[in-house]
């Protein structure tokens, strides 16, 4: 069976924010290109003995020498996934309570026993305006849609969902959607379950915060620390002292909204944030700040660390935070992970950069640091391009295997979901990487064909969009992501705007799951 056609699409809520950035400087790094950086970006001292400083340096390698270059080039693109690992892919449950639904935005985690937990959302609203989130679970042998439980349904008008597990493998979810109390436009809602989580009756929920507008997310803005305590990064837009980027945190009984604490970490906007707790339970954050003072406006990527008092609420100021990063990158994608030694690693797809910005445009980079990573003056951040074709690497997600080697999953818009893994020398000048196609758009066209509706003439699947990625305890990859189906007219003979089939547009979307053994 194939997912149904769309009846409508989500509404994106537009809004903006004025961010004041200061003191531009020119820096250079080991790749030999000049790049702009900001230092310092912001300083506040609204309460005694509280100082907040942000630095945004360029990628930097203190060791000098040759630039790292992967020794294994990507394989020639193929419409059929290689036999390595024997990928198995299928749509996540989309016929729910007897009704077909378009679905999207999956967030995935794997527990210590290999069980797969996935949260995702309905893409379209039903007749009553409901657009729920779903939770589904597969305890083992997750090789078909039937392996997953009937989804638990969280009702509401929900746009984005993030899932994480505590140390015992209990699922925790944050979703962004309509305010259940109907006091604001949007709310962040936390949901937790400790037993029997395939039953809706065993879930408890708390409204963490509510606001009048919110940025769309394609990021990991929610995480659980090693002690099972949840954290959240989000942005409040507006005019006045409340506007800014916030860190929300809860120490215990977190389905009681009164137990959540909030700290504004910056009056500026952190876009597309990624929150990770290190092994000591300290928050580390990656994201980007927009500099609206330049022409055109530019994004500056940042890496943030907090080493003390991160749970303390400081009214009108922020907790002590130090930062370092890399480069500026409009419309890029990034992810953050840590090895077993608490060293940060990052995936960065650069997006459309202007010439001379320091990195190549529309390329996927692997970035790493081992020393003083939150201090630009003494850190040893470095990195390299994976050598993929230009435009390959969007929606990049990163995981670190039990041997501290990086794994990456990302979209190749021409072929589908791609997977890359480092075999050796991953943080040296001679890294060895290997690639494979994990889910093929062409194969999906063959196994789930959806013909164009006349007068449309062209139709096809585009899989591998917005992936979520985790490894099991043996290092085998598990992926959840979106597949989009598009149709239209031949753009040569029938330009966009031809009556009856205007342009080339998406007509279906559904969340998928793929797994295989690590090659």
- First-to-last alpha carbon distance for the chain, in angstroms, is 30
Mean pLDDT of 339-358: 82
Residue 41 has pLDDT above 80, yes or no: no
pLDDT at 466: 93
Q: What is the DSSP letter of 70?
A: -
**Backbone angles phi and psi of 272, in degrees to 5:** 50, 55
Tokens representing residue 487 in the block: 């149709």
Own/partner long-range contacts of 126-131 (Cβ < 8 Å, ≥24 apart):
126/99, 129/157, 130/155, 130/156, 130/157, 131/10, 131/156, 131/157, 131/158, 131/159, 131/177
pTM comes to 0.83
Q: What is the pLDDT of residues 392-415, one digit of tens each?
A: 999 999 999 999 999 999 999 999
Tokens representing residue 190 in the block: 């936390």
Tokens representing residue 517 in the block: 């053994």
Residue 441 confidence class, pLDDT cut points 50, 70, 90: very high
Tokens representing residue 180 in the block: 């259940």
Report yes or no: 274 and 259 within 8 Å, Cβ to Cβ.
no
Strands 333-338 and 344-349: antiparallel
pLDDT at 455: 80
Return all residues near 82 (Cβ < 8 A) that are at least 6 apart: 75, 436, 437
Q: What is the edge-to-edge ordering of all strands in the sheet holding 322-324? A: 270-277, 283-291, 298-305, 322-324
Q: What is the pLDDT of residues 21-39, one digit of tens each?
A: 111 111 222 222 222 222 2
Residue 72 has pLDDT above 80, yes or no: no
pLDDT at 14: 24
Closest CA to 443 of 458, 457, 456, 460: 460
Report yes or no: 36 and 357 within 8 Å, Cβ to Cβ.
yes
Total Cβ atoms within 10 A of residue 182: 9
The residue with greater pLDDT, 33 or 342, is 342
Highest averaged pLDDT of the listed ranges 124-138, 192-206, 372-386: 192-206
Tokens representing residue 323 in the block: 């930062």
pLDDT at 442: 92
Tokens representing residue 120 in the block: 């995702």
Closest CA to 346 of 372, 375, 318, 367: 367
**Backbone angles phi and psi of 369, in degrees to 5:** -150, 145
Mean pLDDT of 324-349: 76
Report yes or no: 431 and 424 within 8 Å, Cβ to Cβ.
yes
């Amino acid at each position: 069976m194939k997912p149904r056609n769309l009846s409508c699409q989500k509404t994106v809520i537009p809004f903006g924010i004025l961010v004041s950035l200061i003191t531009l400087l020119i820096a250079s790094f080991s790749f030999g290109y000049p790049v702009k950086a900001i230092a310092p970006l912001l300083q506040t001292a609204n309460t005694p003995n509280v100082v907040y400083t942000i630095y945004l340096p360029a990628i930097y390698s203190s060791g000098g020498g040759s630039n790292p270059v992967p020794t294994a080039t990507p394989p020639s693109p193929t419409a059929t996934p290689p036999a390595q690992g024997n990928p198995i892919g299928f749509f996540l449950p989309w016929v729910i309570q007897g009704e077909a639904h378009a679905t999207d935005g999956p967030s995935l985690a794997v527990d210590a026993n290999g069980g797969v937990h996935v949260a995702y959302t309905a893409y379209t609203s039903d007749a009553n305006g409901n657009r729920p989130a779903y939770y589904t679970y597969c305890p083992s042998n997750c090789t078909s849609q039937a392996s997953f439980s009937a989804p638990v349904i969280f009702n509401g008008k929900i746009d984005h969902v993030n899932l994480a597990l505590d140390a015992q493998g209990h699922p925790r979810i944050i979703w962004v959607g309509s305010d259940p109390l109907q006091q604001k436009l949007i709310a962040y809602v936390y949901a937790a379950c400790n037993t029997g989580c395939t039953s809706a009756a065993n879930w408890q929920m708390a409204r963490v915060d509510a606001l009048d507008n919110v940025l769309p997310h394609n990021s990991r803005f929610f995480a659980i620390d090693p002690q099972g305590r949840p954290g959240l990064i989000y942005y409040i837009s507006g005019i006045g002292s409340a506007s800014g980027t916030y860190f929300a945190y809860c120490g215990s009984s977190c389905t009681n909204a009164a137990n959540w604490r909030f700290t504004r970490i910056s009056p500026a906007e952190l876009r597309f944030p990624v929150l990770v707790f290190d092994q000591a339970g300290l928050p580390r954050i990656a994201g980007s700040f927009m500099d609206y003072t330049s022409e055109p406006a530019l994004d500056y990527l940042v890496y943030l660390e907090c080493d003390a008092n991160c749970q303390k609420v400081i009214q009108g100021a922020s907790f002590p935070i130090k930062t370092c990063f890399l480069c500026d990158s409009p419309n890029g994608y990034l992810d953050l992970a840590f090895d077993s030694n608490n060293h940060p690693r990052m995936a960065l797809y650069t997006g459309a950069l202007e010439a001379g910005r320091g990195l190549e445009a529309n390329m996927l980079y692997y970035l790493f640091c081992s020393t003083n990573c939150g201090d630009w003056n003494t850190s040893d951040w470095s990195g390299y391009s994976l050598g993929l074709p230009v435009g390959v690497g969007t929606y990049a997600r990163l995981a670190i295997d039990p041997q501290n080697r990086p794994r990456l999953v990302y979209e190749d818009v021409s072929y589908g979901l791609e997977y890359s893994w480092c075999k050796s020398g991953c943080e040296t000048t001679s890294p060895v990487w290997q690639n494979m196609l994990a889910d093929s758009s062409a194969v999906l066209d063959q196994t789930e064909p959806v013909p164009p509706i006349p007068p449309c003439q062209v139709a096809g699947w585009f899989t591998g969009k917005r992936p979520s990625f985790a490894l099991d305890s043996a290092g085998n990859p598990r992926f959840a992501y979106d597949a989009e189906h598009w149709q239209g007219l031949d753009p040569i003979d029938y330009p966009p705007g031809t009556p009856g089939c205007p342009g080339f547009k998406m007509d279906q979307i559904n969340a998928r799951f793929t797994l295989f053994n690590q090659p």
